[in-house]
Structure 1
Amino acid sequence: MKLIVFGLTVSSAWGNGHATLWRGLCRALAEHGHQVVFFERDLPYYRAHRDLTALPGGRLVLFDAWSEVQALAARELTDTDAAMVTSYCPDALAATDLVLTASRARRVFYDLDTPVTLARLRRGEAVEYIGPGGLGGFDLVLSYTGGSALTALRDELGARRVAPLYGHADPSVHRPAAPLDRYRSDISYLGTYAADRQAGVSALLIEPARHRPDRRFLIGGAQYPADFPWTSNIHFVHHVVPEEHPAFFSSSRLTLNVTRGAMAGMGWCPSGRLFEATACGAAVLSDDWEGLDAFYRPGEEILIARSAEDVCAAMDLTDTEIRRVAEAGRDRTLADHSATRRVDALERVLAEAPRRAPEISARLAGLGGEP
């Protein structure tokens, strides 16, 4: 299979969750014998922090303006089996116009940010990566979020066929590593600062740090504001590079997962960090949200925290108890939540998705075409 992707970024993992996910998918797709051509606008923000320049078994096309690659993209479409536009792609509308004209490829939209998409839509805000015709022109709409989000994509954006494609871990990258002193802690947390996640970080990390001044807490990430409420026992590492994520997760007794507000509210939206940390053999302490128990068994493969007291109780577990949770969580991730498992799911839903004629897709998307 040849797959073309018009996405946000795969070349830089700085301040976004898309790149790591795509790297794992591209590697697993290549192992299955597939080829990916990824079109990415060369944005200055990501250019300054680029940490990947080539795709395994595929091709990365960087460009400054859509006009530079429109003809190339059209040529690539002629022998493509699936063409995909993703959320937050800077050229999503132009790419959608092109993809919906494809005569051979399955036309796919992948929303990696469904709770944010729906929240903005319900507030009456413009969603710049979805055109006025919604998602009805695509043969298949994939969502990083399951549950009620799939119904909402049909009812509110006109998607004809929807399926979840959750995050994952790439076992070739995310695996236990030797601990590093600079990352040693009782509880670590890896994540870019987000205002709608701050309440959870305050309750599950800052408050426990105040309750347990003798314990060491560690945050790794980017974009933290100057007024963040640090305590003397909360240490900070600015942007942990992807190749050191395993060491980061492997250097703490527990690692914390905090879900963004919109995603926690909708449920069924596990973060990529959740899968990565468990694959690295970390015992994960997570906030709670609907659907979490479909991915991990609470108390056995993952620990749940709803308050600072829960966090402190988790810290008081013995090393043996924590190790038991870590090993069970890793086993579950490798069995059910690897990049290979997600490619298996992608192959299946693509094979099942009916492909409509281009003029029908264009009409459903409000782009014209014959009635």
Structure 2
Amino acid sequence: MNIVLLGLSITSSWGNGHATTYRSLVKALQNRGHQVLFLEREAVKQAGRQDLPQPDYCQVAHYTSVSELGKRFEEQVREAEMVIVGSGLQDGKAIGEWVFKTAGGIKAFYDLDAPTTIAGLEQGNLPYLNAKMVPRFDLYLSCSGGPTLQLLEQKYGSPMARPLYFSFDPELYFHEYREIKWDLGYLGTYSEDRMPGLTKLMLDAADQWPNGRFAVAGARYPSDMGWTSNVTMLQHLSPAEHRDFFNSQRFTLSIARAEMSRIGYTPSMRLFEAAACCVPIISDHWEGIETLFEPETEILISAGAKDTLRYLREICNTERKTIGSRARRKVLSLHTADHRAQELEGFVAELMTLDTRGEKQLAL
């Protein structure tokens, strides 16, 4: 399949993880015989945020405006068998309109922040999508599953809304021996809506267990959080450092953003990456988590410091490793980037089967 993907970035780790998602998916698509042209706004390059190497598994091109898109890439978009527009794009609405007018193949929208998008559609204030555009995309790919998909089809008129969850690259995330530095670690950028969960599940536990070792890694945390001395604050880690961080913990903590918890069925990329490293995950509860991991055997659900400390102090080393191994087997069987590429192929095949317009069939 010949695919054009207009995304936020594939060359910068700055921001919210779009680049990591795109890199893994595009690499898997290329490995499965598809050709991808990734179009990225020149502003990322000009801002000096191209801190990831140029991918050798797809073509990357830059543009400065919607007008330039039309001048330089009209032929590629018109002839592509599939054009995917990612969420969060500057001038996203105008880009979407141009794609509707230009693309000759399947037109898809890939929502990498469905909780924010759904809230924005309800309020009518999204800069990159509006409700009238949703039915015009042949396929709506969402990082959220469950009721969100029904909402997109039944309320907003999407012809086909399907889940395309985050994933991980098995070549980058795996278990390897490291000195255990922390009993519990957390990797995540600072956000006010996650602080109550971080406090309840980790910081309160650290306060009650002075001999425990805890670590928080992420950008944008205020310099003085007033945490106890047994909590280590690490600066922002590059993606290349994530595996080492996970493998240096006895347990790792996962906390959903408030919007993700509200709509449920929205697993984070970190959840799969941590599981791939064989480190047992302690997580807050959100609707749908049990459809991804079996509680108590593949993941540990905590409602507060009492639960967290019980896991940290009462689970023996053998059981801890067994829980981590089960989680790794689960993500290797269902949540790699190759699985997402296969799912995308399946959605295209499903769409073409349902297509009664007599248009050209795609060669998968």
Q: Verify same fold: TM over 0.5.
A: yes
Q: Following TM superposition, by how much is the alpha carbon of 1:103 offset from its aligned partner in structure 2, in angstroms?
A: 4.9
AA paired with 2:326? Answer: A
**1:27 aligned onto 2:24:** no
SS of 2:190's equivalent in the other structure is coil
SS of equivalent residue, structure 1 residue 43: helix
Alpha-carbon distance in structure 1 between the residues aligned to 2:351 and 2:311: 45
Alignment partner, residue 37 of structure 2:
37
- Which residue does 1:312 correspond to in 2? 309
Moved more, 58-67 or 139-148: 58-67
The equivalences for 1:1-371 within 5 A come to 1-43=1-43, 47-122=47-122, 124-131=123-130, 133-179=132-178, 184-226=181-223, 228-316=225-313, 317-354=315-352
Partners of 1:47 and 1:298 lie apart in 2 by 43
- Distance across 2 between alignment mates of 1:245 and 1:14: 15
C-alpha distance in structure 2 between counterparts of 1:43 and 1:233, whole Å: 41
* Contact kept in structure 1, 2:44 and 2:50, CA below 8 Å: no
Per the alignment, in what secondary structure is the counterpart of residue 169 of structure 1? coil
Q: Alignment RMSD, CA only?
A: 1.9
Give me the whole-angstrom Cα distance separating, in 2, the residues matched to 1:5 and 1:345: 17
Gaps of 5+ in 2: 358-364
Does structure 2 retain, via aligned residues, the 8 Å contact 1:178–1:247?
no
Return the alpha-carbon distance in structure 2 between the equivalents of residues 234 and 147 of structure 1: 36
| Higher RCO, Cα 8 Å, sep 6+ | 1
In the alignment, is the contact (CA less than 8 A) between 2:131 and 2:156 conserved in 1?
Answer: no
Residue 103 and residue 60 in structure 1: after superposition, are their counterparts in 2 closer, same or farther (change >3 A)? Answer: closer
Contact kept? 1:268, 1:291, Cα under 8 Å: yes
Structure 1 residues 270, 58: CA separation in 2 closer, same or farther (over 3 Å shift)? Answer: same
Q: Is the 8 A contact 1:26 1:55 kept in 2?
A: no
TM value normalised by structure 2: 0.92
* Mean Cα deviation higher: 37-46 or 27-36: 37-46
Corresponding letter in the other structure for 2:222: P
User: Is residue 11–residue 46 contact of structure 1 (8 Å, CA) maintained in 2?
Assistant: no
- Counting aligned pairs with the same residue, the percent is 35
Could you say if the C-alpha distance between residues 46 and 258 of structure 1 is closer, same or farther in structure 2, counting changes exceeding 3 Å?
Answer: farther
Is contact 2:246-2:277 (8 Å) kept?
yes
Letter in 1 for 2:73: A
Range 222-231 or range 93-102, more displaced: 222-231
From the superposition, tell whether residues 310 and 37 of structure 1 become closer, same or farther in structure 2 (CA, over 3 Å).
same
Q: Which amino acid aligns with 2:135?
A: G
* CA distance, structure 1, for counterparts of residue 61 and residue 226 of structure 2: 41
Aligned position for 2:362: none
Instruction: State the distance in 1 between where 2:49 and 2:71 align.
Output: 28
Equivalent residues of 1:4, 1:36 under 8 A apart: yes
Cα pair 1:283 1:325 within 8 Å, conserved: yes
- With normalisation by structure 1, the TM-score equals 0.90
Greater shift, 93-102 or 275-284, is seen at 93-102
How far apart, CA to CA, are the structure 1 residues paired with 2:50 and 2:236? 13
Of residues 260-269 and 69-78 in structure 1, the stretch that sits farther from structure 2 once superposed is 69-78
Q: Following TM superposition, by how much is the alpha carbon of 1:65 offset from its aligned partner in structure 2, in angstroms?
A: 3.0
- Please report how far the alpha carbon of residue 27 of structure 1 lies from its aligned counterpart in structure 2 after TM superposition: 1.2
Tell me the equivalent position of 1:367.
none
2: distance between equivalents of 1:137 and 1:233?
53
Count of aligned positions: 354
One-letter amino acid of the structure 1 residue matched with residue 144 of structure 2: T
1:179 and 1:18 map into 2 onto residues whose CA distance is: 28
For 1:247, give the aligned amino acid.
Answer: D
Query: Is the 1:12–1:46 Cα contact (8 Å) retained in structure 2?
Result: no
Whole-Å separation in 1 of the counterparts to 2:189 and 2:73: 32
In structure 2, relative to structure 1, the CA distance for the partners of 1:103 and 1:70 (3 Å cut) is closer
